[in-house]
A and B are shown apart, each in its own frame.
Chain A
């Protein structure tokens, strides 16, 4: 089945190759195959698939990956706009969700 994609060209992910040591941690933590190995370092192969989870940034020892992490959840944002407490995420770990 073809992978599901959201918008093109919206995410805040940036990669600075100069700071990359090629440790490969980002490859292990990214759930969306955004990055791939390249010449002993990595490169951004599929930027539009990024969900801004922040796993790569958090685990990059060199600080080469930057992203403004967050959850793409409209109902949480509407709740926030209405000043309601955000009821987030009760679900099993096989389907990460920010539902009710």
Chain B
């Protein structure tokens, strides 16, 4: 679901010819964050058409870009309503905006504001100067916590059909006995839950403290920990059948590593080159180990474990 603001020129408070001009994206939350950060300040807000996408992501795609900004300055008639020639553009929009080109093409000078809208009042007070801290993108525990639900939901969505399919499989193998099939499926459910907790919850939260640079490595260690917990929880269910134990020990860390790898996009310190490097070594291992875990589980099933 996307929430949009119509592109164009808006006013906050009692904006006049001398009021500052802030540029933002047509994503409603970008617009609202900006407005909320400027209580009691009169200003112009120029909303660029980013198709409802936030500044950082739209800048990466180029929709929050030089062409759109120059075009929007013209179509909104900004030059006629303000007497100065200065725009405050969020720093996270810089990947899409070439300040020197904007100046050449529109006459407006781009000043990059702080990374976070919260810092805008201090930035304005300091005569449009951002401190090093305002210029840096952090990734705090709370920020990571806020992202956890977005990691869990798709993981659970992916896990449910798998659990259902494996239930059907064990139903057939166990001679159409629903209770026995259910027993086997519980092991699967516990394993999948352990993987999701390790990869989609623990890894994001414990990111700075888990060993390794690759997200997959971090997820692997979190998964190993959870695999041991899962074994303690379900071991009695299958009387310590060796194949089942191995299945859990192999697949939980592998799935956790895979889920952890998917957190690279939500994090704020990964690079495309780095993710390519990580995927080259980690993805085959993750797929291979998960397949091995599945094969072991099926073997345990056939052995009646």
Q: Which of B27, B56, B269 contacts A49 (CB 8 A)?
A: B269
Q: Given A10-B271, A50-B271, A94-B116: A58 and B262 within 8 A (CB)?
A: no
Contacts of A58 in B (CB 8 A): 94-98
- Within 8 Å of chain B (Cβ to Cβ): is A40? no
Count residues of chain B with CB under 8 A from any CB of chain A.
69
Segment 114-151 of B: residues with Cβ below 8 Å from A? 115-118, 130, 132, 135-137, 139-140, 143, 146-147, 150-151
Q: Which of A5, A55, A72 contacts B265 (CB 8 A)?
A: A72
- Within 8 Å of chain A (Cβ to Cβ): is B67? no
| Chain B proximity mask over A62-92: 1 for CB below 8 Å, otherwise 0 | 0000001111111111100000000011111
- Within 8 Å of chain A (Cβ to Cβ): is B229? no
Check B99–A25 contact: CB distance below 8 A.
yes
A11 vs B272: C-alpha distance in the bound complex, in angstroms?
8
| Chain A proximity mask over B247-274: 1 for CB below 8 Å, otherwise 0 | 0000000000000011011111111111
Contacts of A90 in B (CB 8 A): 1-2, 27, 53-54
A94 vs B275: C-alpha distance in the bound complex, in angstroms?
22
A50 vs B139: C-alpha distance in the bound complex, in angstroms?
15
- Within 8 Å of chain B (Cβ to Cβ): is A14? no
- Within 8 Å of chain A (Cβ to Cβ): is B33? yes
Count residues of chain A with CB under 8 A from any CB of chain B.
53
Looking at the assembled complex, report how far the CB atom of A50 sits from the nearest CB atom of chain B, in whole angstroms.
6
Check A96–B92 contact: CB distance below 8 A.
yes
Segment 19-34 of A: residues with Cβ below 8 Å from B? 25, 27-33
- Within 8 Å of chain A (Cβ to Cβ): is B112? yes
| Chain B proximity mask over A1-21: 1 for CB below 8 Å, otherwise 0 | 111111110111000000000
Check A32–B95 contact: CB distance below 8 A.
no
Contacts of A1 in B (CB 8 A): 140, 208
A61 vs B100: C-alpha distance in the bound complex, in angstroms?
6
Check A29–B33 contact: CB distance below 8 A.
no
Q: Given A31-B135, A96-B137, A96-B268: A7 and B147 within 8 A (CB)?
A: no
Check A97–B265 contact: CB distance below 8 A.
yes
- Within 8 Å of chain A (Cβ to Cβ): is B30? yes
Check A97–B112 contact: CB distance below 8 A.
no
- Within 8 Å of chain A (Cβ to Cβ): is B300? no
| Chain B proximity mask over A52-63: 1 for CB below 8 Å, otherwise 0 | 111100110100
Contacts of B264 in A (CB 8 A): 72-75
Looking at the assembled complex, report how far the CB atom of B208 sits from the nearest CB atom of chain A, in whole angstroms.
6
- Within 8 Å of chain B (Cβ to Cβ): is A100? yes
Closest to A96 in B: B56
Check B273–A10 contact: CB distance below 8 A.
yes
Segment 78-104 of B: residues with Cβ below 8 Å from A? 90-92, 94-100
Check A71–B274 contact: CB distance below 8 A.
no
Q: Which of A2, A30, A78, A89 contacts B56 (CB 8 A)?
A: A89
- Within 8 Å of chain A (Cβ to Cβ): is B197? no
Q: Given A2-B208, A96-B57: A75 and B262 within 8 A (CB)?
A: yes
- Within 8 Å of chain B (Cβ to Cβ): is A51? yes
List chain A positions with a Cβ less than 8 A from chain B: 1-8, 10-12, 25, 27-33, 49-55, 58-59, 61, 68-78, 88-100
List chain B positions with a Cβ less than 8 A from chain A: 1-2, 25, 27, 29-30, 33, 53-61, 90-92, 94-100, 112, 115-118, 130, 132, 135-137, 139-140, 143, 146-147, 150-151, 153-154, 207-208, 213-215, 261-262, 264-279, 283
8 tightest A-B CB contacts, nearest first: A73-B265, A70-B272, A72-B270, A89-B57, A98-B265, A96-B56, A55-B94, A29-B94
Given A29-B112, A92-B29, 20 more pairs with CB closer than 8 A: A6-B213, A6-B271, A7-B213, A7-B278, A10-B271, A29-B94, A31-B137, A51-B269, A52-B272, A53-B60, A55-B91, A58-B94, A69-B95, A74-B215, A75-B265, A77-B279, A88-B61, A93-B54, A94-B143, A95-B266
